[in-house]
Amino acid sequence: MSELNSIVLKIIKSGKGILAADESTGTMSKRLDEVNVTSTPENRLLFRETLFSSSCMTDCIGGVILYDETIKQISSKKNKITELISEMGSLPGIKVDTGAKVLAGSPDENVTEGLDGLRERLKEYYKLGAKFTKWRGVYAISKDYPSKLSISSNAHALARYSALVQECNMVPIVEPEVLMEGEHSAEDCLKKTSEVINKCFEELILHKVDLKGIILKPNMILAGNKSKNKISNDEIAKLTIKCLKNSVPSEVPGIAFLSGGQSEVEATQNLNLINKYNDTNFIMTYSYGRALQQSALKFWSKDLKNIEGTQKIFNHRSKMNTLAAQGKWSKDLEI
């Protein structure tokens, strides 16, 4: 087993998942504004530290994706955030892309940037304690999109990023997200997501990326949020597995789904059904942001000093998703 493969398994084995706490300062400020909390570096750190020191970090959360501001912060116990996460039994990771920008040649689509200077930044993050990284490519979906240009440009960037990350002895999370926004059917989502993932692996192989040392972070196969043709949770699970079986090489050890705008319970329920029907060798788990944090954030916003109460809610949500990652969740376990 390679060192990179052992890091992957430490993050996602036994139902463990990933906490995506990599919201940019702007995005985190919006989240705090929504719950009437002033967005200061201190408040952003306080909420995140509350989560990172919760008991579920040991049993449920195998990895935490951080943002540049957070990985450089010092906790209230005067240790580095990466040390706090490691002491809880989880692994620290870092978002390294610099965001989606307008794609030249197709102005209604985006390409993710951040390759310039990436090798140097990776060395810095590695010294700070990061064991894995994340890069997100985003794809609009409609009758005309994603275009071949968008699919190719983002796959190329994801592959170049992954090769640089592995060169620095870290695990790349490869996140090609076909967005939920739109009127498209689940069948459209299946077709486009399959195209996107297939192209990503074509580029990853071309760039000599060790597929045993990556984690794929895709969207589930869902109808668009404005679609009149919704499908059942069972169908979501079956189509998602169909997509991955046909698109992902068998060497890839694990798949950690993004929640992509689903509610907390929806994201858990769909993950649970995916694992009930999973007839592959892929570990199928979660890499959720809002679907792990939203209820905890709302509770915390009412009293920033109620650490224990906030952690109780976060522990519950994490436990529900870890059960779902093993196909053992049921609705009657929800509060």
Query: pLDDT at residue 214 above 90?
Result: yes
How crowded is residue 14: how many other Cβ atoms within 10 Å of its Cβ?
A: 14
Query: Taking a C-beta distance cutoff of 8 angstroms, is the pair 17, 328 a contact?
Result: no
Indicate the average pLDDT of the chain.
Answer: 97
Residue range 240-261: mean pLDDT, rounded: 97
**H-helix or E-strand spanning residue 63:** strand 61-66
Question: Does residue 335 lie in a domain region?
Answer: no
Residue 215 resides in a domain:
yes
Q: Both tokens of residue 34? A: 């929504």
Is residue 288 scored above 80 in pLDDT? yes
What mean pLDDT comes out for the span 111-116? Answer: 98
The pLDDT of residue 77: 87
Domain tally for the chain? 1
Q: pLDDT-based confidence at 68, cuts 50/70/90?
A: very high
Q: Which residues contact 324 (CB under 8 A, 6 or more apart)?
A: 268, 269, 271, 272, 275, 286
What is the per-residue DSSP string for 70-115? Answer: HHT-B-TTSSBHHHHHHHTT-EEEEE----EEEETTEEEEEEE---
Q: How confident is the model at residue 192 (pLDDT cuts 50, 70, 90)?
A: very high
Give the angle 182-19-197 at the CA atoms, nearest 5°.
45
In a domain, 301, yes or no: yes
pLDDT band at 294 (very low <50, low <70, confident <90, very high): very high
Q: 307-324 vs 264-277: helix axis angle to the nearest 10?
A: 30
Whether 83 is covered by a domain: the verdict is yes
Nearest Cα to Cα of residue 210 among 164, 175, 244: 164
* pLDDT at 54 (0 to 100): 98
Range of the domain at 181: 3-325
User: Do residues 102 and 90 lie in contact, with contact meaning Cβ atoms separated by under 8 Å?
Assistant: no
Report, as residue numbers or ranges, the catalytic residues: 217
Examine residue 193 and state whether it is found in any structural domain, yes or no. yes
pLDDT tens digits, residue range 124-166? 999 999 999 999 999 999 999 999 999 999 999 999 999 999 9
Write out the two tokens for 299.
């509770």
Q: Quickly count: other Cβ atoms within 10 Å of residue 189's Cβ.
A: 27
Mean pLDDT score, 181-192: 96
- Decide if 246 is inside a domain: yes
121 — pLDDT class (breaks 50, 70, 90): very high
Distance CA 290, CA 262 (A): 9
| Residue 333 in domain | no
Per-residue pLDDT at 1 exceeds 90: no
How big is the chain by its Cα radius of gyration, in Å?
19
- For residue 256, the model assigns a pLDDT of 98
**Percent of all residues in the chain with a pLDDT value above 90, rounded to a whole number:** 98
Instruction: Report how far residue 306's alpha carbon sits from residue 320's, in angstroms, rounded to the nearest whole number.
Output: 22
CATH of the domain at 187: 3.20.20.70
